[in-house]
Chains A and B, each alone.
Chain A
């Protein structure tokens, strides 16, 4: 029996957009787009099984081999450094990791900079690259209010349109790294299902070029 290719997709709009690319590449599974609460979908004929998972968990499913390949943001790859292959920049889900602060903020380099973020490792690596002493405040959500309440001097977070920042009187003062969705693969799966993964990757690379 042919091995199924297991694919972890991030729940939400990005996942749906990426699924359409996969379907065009010959890995279709129409039931996936039907409105249902199911999380696993299979198309035996196409040899493919899709899972909807929380976007930040895709890399875990792939690293641990529950999924052979998956789609996840570069932010997750930078933050958690999972041991996976990063095969393709899908050129979608584009945004940036940025440092933001209250309008008119001036960095007082005599003091330790207080940084609120969900992405501690990215923030630490960014400031270590130019030797700035920082105090990381790890938050799980509503990062934007940290500078307003005086909890932190700046925040390091994902910025898409900048509307949330603007509404909270914050502005981007520095871009840390551009972010987009990436096609990732489990290293062991790549050894045993390499031809399927390669076929999919090449089809998608063609679509990105168009």
Chain B
């Protein structure tokens, strides 16, 4: 297999190999089927590039995440304030708690207000998770590492980088090693496919099928 790197974007084969390939391409009858040597149209190339970019952008874990104990820590504290205790109706009390906890803060790299809107809960839910969150608060752990799953507050199942104390980071970053692997995987794929396609005769040449 001979390689020619003079015009790598045109062909990677030497002239003799290209000539042999062209002859075979025109001569061979594959059950009455023929193939052309057209390049991929530019809109299709752009669509593939757009797909690759979108694949990363749309899968970053910025949406659809479980709420953390940190999100509801303020709720738990607010439950014991005189203003909330004075409200008899649960729905009204929850409205008040939400109002007290909104303020444009940032939590885990995202808008805390958006997270509150995305993960509403009832006073009954809050009563169930309150003692669990209080226990965590008193033990001094990072509440951002605990997620609320139904009626339980549990250590997040995400296992990230090792921390100095030998435990794993339990907060999900917007980028993880899955994306790094994807970058390498995709790069190998596109390099191999480009090499494969550039071994064909240049796309400026079209076969003449059945002499026309």
Asked if A and B bind, the verdict is no
- Residues of A whose CB lies within 8 Å of any CB of B are none
Binding site for A on B (CB under 8 A): none
